[in-house]
């Protein structure tokens, strides 16, 4: 890792300005625009989603195509799935299940079929939720050949014709490709923050689009201001996407990833939840826990388990990247999960706005957190003759600012970073960071390389 240069004087990111009422509406408008796009593991829905991000927010986003059949770690890139139509119709031609009415109505990755079947023959291919009779479930058959339809229990109960026409107009192209997007925002140092989100779910607003729109707007904000760290954003289909991306990296490129977050489930009404990295001792674990606690967000901290979202690929023992998952209510723990109730009305603008503000605050600490060496460690240096007490008096809480100078001088021993000092002292991180800037300006501190 390269040595970190001394940062410019610490400045709060524009969180307060960014959380104006219209920002949540802007996030929600993008979510509504993306909601009808028929996404899956592969296909034009993913491409359309990435192109829209590229056109609206992220002109530097690179769109990658990896051919079907390509070996990626222990997996193989699947055939590209394309869908044009899918329905169940009565002999009179009435569509009682219609993919054009809702993207969830077809089993994801269904093989093509067009025939007349009896109701008894059709039933094994129908998926409903008896306990939630008005909702359509989200089901897929990515890696097992099959076909089917998803419908509400009320629709299923209403089927009484002896014969139905079933049509699933799809193709699985072995010469297609898997598509993912990647954006690198270089900083003053090569050490990277990885932000990853999945983009493969159709018509699911919280479990898909909320993470995508928060990550995209975070990337746009970072692209418009200087930053010390480098930021890499990966927008890919779940599981196979990160596996594909990881298979294309070099050991040197992966070694630059010092912090990482999987962004998902950021639009629901629940409290925040942070799932730690595999060993639970990474700097990103400390930073997120500090921000959640210090900013007063209702939250829960959970240890890593090898099930969930794409953090389990990044944290697999061969890579062991420091990637946690920062969401609201976790998957499977709210009744709308993987159903048609996870719609645009379920995700509220203010919830998206608050989630983006949290990610901005995490970035703020990542940007400001460094290790320093006290250049006058023998006894307390005379701060008055360096003008530091005068600078303290101009701040909102002079006593707090004065104590921050003393805490920083006491613990810049090469072993403690600024976050550790903030935690030990109980002072806000921003106050500790400003104190470090003042001491740097007086040549009382020297920046150290990132810890290996």
Question: Do both 218 and 293 map to the same domain?
Answer: yes
- Asked if 254 and 359 sit in the same domain, the reply is yes
Q: What angle do CA 212, 323, 280 make, to 5 degrees?
A: 140
Q: Is the pLDDT of residue 445 over 70?
A: yes
Give the single-character DSSP code of 130.
Answer: T
Q: Same structural domain for residues 89 and 222?
A: no
Q: How far is CA 124 from CA 117, 144, 158, 162, in A?
A: 12, 15, 16, 15
Query: Which H/E stretch holds residue 419?
Result: helix 418-425
User: Are 135 and 283 contained in the same domain?
Assistant: no
Is residue 170 within 8 Å of residue 77, measured between CB atoms? no
Domain at 163, CATH number: 3.50.30.90
Contacts of 152 (CB under 8 A, 6+ apart): 128, 129, 133, 134, 135, 136, 340
> What's the pLDDT at 384?
87
Domain assignment of residue 396, yes or no: yes
Q: Is the pLDDT of residue 166 over 90?
A: yes
- Is residue 121 within 8 A of residue 165, CB to CB? The reply is no
Q: Tell me whether residue 8 is in a domain.
A: no
Please state the rounded mean pLDDT for residues 372-388: 92
pLDDT-based confidence at residue 187 (cuts at 50, 70, 90): very high
Could you give phi then psi for residue 23, rounded to 5 degrees?
-70, -45
In this prediction, residue 395 has a pLDDT band, given cuts at 50, 70 and 90, of low
Q: Are residues 305 and 211 in the same domain?
A: yes
Q: What is the CATH number of the domain that holds 29?
A: 3.40.630.10
Residues 102 and 246 in one domain: no
User: Same domain for 352 and 383?
Assistant: no
How far is the C-alpha of 337 from the C-alpha of 321, rounded, in Å?
A: 28
What would the mean pLDDT of 388-408 be, rounded to a whole number? Answer: 77
Give how far Cα 150 sits from Cα of 87, 154, 157, 228, 343, Å: 10, 12, 13, 48, 16
Would 166 be classed as within a structural domain? yes
What letter does residue 386 receive in the DSSP assignment? G
Query: pLDDT tens across 250-285, in order?
Result: 999 999 999 999 999 999 999 999 999 999 999 999
Average pLDDT, the chain: 93
The pLDDT-based confidence of 158 (bands split at 50, 70, 90) is very high
Residues comprising the binding site for Zn(2+)?
201, 207, 338
**Residue 442 forms part of a structural domain:** yes
pLDDT (0 to 100) of residue 200: 97
| Cα atoms in the 13 Å half-sphere on the side-chain side of 25 | 3
**Binding positions:** 201, 207, 338
CATH number of the domain residue 443 falls in: 1.10.10.10
**Residue 2 domain-assigned?**
no
Distance CA 204, CA 191 (A): 34
Residue 97 host element (H or E): strand 95-98
In angstroms, the CA 46 to CA 61 distance is 14
Residues 6+ apart with CB under 8 A from 390: none
Same domain flag for 71 and 90? no
Q: Residue 390: which pLDDT band, with cuts at 50, 70 and 90?
A: low
With CA atoms as reference, report the closest residue to 358 among 451, 265, 230. 265
Among residues 173, 194, 220, the one where a domain terminates is: 173
Residue 137, strand partner residues: 339
d(CA 360, CA 192): 16
Band (452; pLDDT cuts 50, 70, 90): very low
**In the predicted model, what is the mean pLDDT of residues 84-107?**
98
Domain stops at, among 320, 353, 368: 368
Residues 191 and 305 in one domain: yes
Give 242 or 393, the one with higher predicted confidence. 242
CA distance 90 to 116: 10
Give the single-character DSSP code of 340. Answer: T
Count of domains observed in the chain? 3
* Pair 141, 107: CB distance under 8 Å: yes
Which pLDDT score is estimated for 387?
Answer: 85
Burial of 297 (0-12, 13-18, 19+ CB in 10 A): middle
Q: How many residues does the chain have?
A: 452
3-state SS of 151-207? Answer: CCHHHHHHCCCCEEEEEEEEEEECCCEEEEEEEEECCCCCCEEEEEEECCCCCCHHH
Rounded Cα–Cα distance for residues 5 and 392 (Å): 24
Q: Are 432 and 418 in contact (CB under 8 A)?
A: yes
In a domain, residue 452? The reply is no
Is residue 223 predicted with pLDDT exceeding 80? Answer: yes
| CA dist 274 → 27, 164, 299 (Å) | 22, 47, 8
Strand 163-173 relative to strand 113-118, pairing: antiparallel
Domain closes at, from 368, 390, 407 = 368
Q: Which domain holds residue 34?
A: 15-77+178-368
Q: How confident is the model at residue 247 (pLDDT cuts 50, 70, 90)?
A: very high
**348 and 223 in a common domain:** yes
Integer CA distances (angstroms), 313 to 73, 245, 309, 319, 436, in order: 11, 10, 8, 8, 37
Question: Does residue 3 belong to any structural domain of this protein?
Answer: no
The answer to whether residues 100 and 222 belong to one domain is: no
Does 213 share its domain with 246? yes
- pLDDT at position 12 over 90: no
Q: Is residue 151 part of a domain?
A: yes
Q: How does residue 13 score in pLDDT terms, banded at 50, 70 and 90?
A: very low
The helix/strand/coil state of 376 is coil
Banded pLDDT at 5 (limits 50, 70, 90): very low
């Amino acid at each position: 890792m390269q040595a970190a240069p001394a940062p410019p004087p610490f400045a709060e990111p524009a969180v307060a300005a960014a959380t104006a009422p219209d920002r949540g509406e802007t996030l929600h408008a993008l979510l509504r625009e993306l909601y009808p796009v028929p996404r899956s593991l592969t296909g034009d829905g993913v491409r359309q989603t990435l192109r829209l991000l590229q056109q609206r927010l992220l002109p530097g986003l690179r769109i990658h195509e990896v051919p079907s059949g390509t070996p990626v770690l222990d997996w193989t890139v699947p055939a590209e799935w394309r869908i044009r139509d899918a329905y169940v119709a009565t002999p009179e031609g009435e569509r009682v299940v219609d993919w054009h009415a809702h993207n969830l109505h077809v089993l994801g990755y269904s093989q093509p079929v067009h025939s007349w079947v009896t109701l008894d023959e059709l039933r094994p291919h129908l998926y409903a939720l008896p306990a939630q009779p008005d909702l359509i479930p989200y089901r897929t058959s990515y890696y097992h050949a099959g076909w089917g339809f998803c419908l509400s229990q009320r629709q299923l109960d209403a089927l009484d014709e002896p014969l139905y026409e079933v049509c699933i107009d799809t193709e699985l192209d072995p010469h297609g490709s898997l598509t993912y997007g990647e954006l690198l925002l270089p900083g003053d140092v090569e050490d990277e923050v990885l932000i990853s989100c999945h983009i493969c779910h159709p018509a699911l607003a919280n479990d898909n689009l909320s993470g995508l729109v928060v990550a995209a707007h975070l990337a746009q904000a970072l692209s418009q201001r200087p930053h010390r760290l480098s930021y890499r954003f990966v927008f890919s289909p779940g599981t196979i996407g990160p596996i594909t991306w990881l298979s294309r990296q070099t050991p040197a490129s992966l070694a630059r990833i010092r912090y990482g977050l999987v962004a998902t489930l950021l639009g629901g009404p629940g409290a925040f939840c942070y799932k730690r990295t595999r060993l639970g001792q990474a700097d990103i674990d400390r930073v997120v826990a500090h921000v959640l606690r210090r900013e007063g967000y209702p939250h829960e901290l959970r240890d890593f388990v090898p099930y969930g979202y794409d953090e389990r690929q990044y944290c697999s023992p061969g890579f062991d990247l420091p990637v946690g998952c920062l969401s609201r209510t976790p998957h499977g723990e709210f009744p709308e999960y993987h159903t048609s109730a996870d719609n645009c009305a379920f995700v509220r603008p203010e919830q998206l706005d608050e989630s983006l503000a949290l990610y901005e605050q995490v970035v703020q600490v990542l940007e400001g957190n460094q290790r320093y060496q006290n250049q006058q460690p023998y006894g307390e240096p005379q701060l008055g003759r360096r003008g530091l007490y005068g600078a303290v008096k101009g701040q909102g809480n002079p006593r707090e600012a004065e104590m921050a100078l003393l805490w920083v001088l006491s613990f810049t021993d090469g072993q403690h970073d600024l976050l550790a000092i903030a935690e030990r002292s109980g002072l806000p991180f921003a106050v500790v960071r400003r104190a470090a800037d003042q001491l740097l300006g007086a040549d009382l501190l020297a920046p150290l390389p990132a810890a290996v």
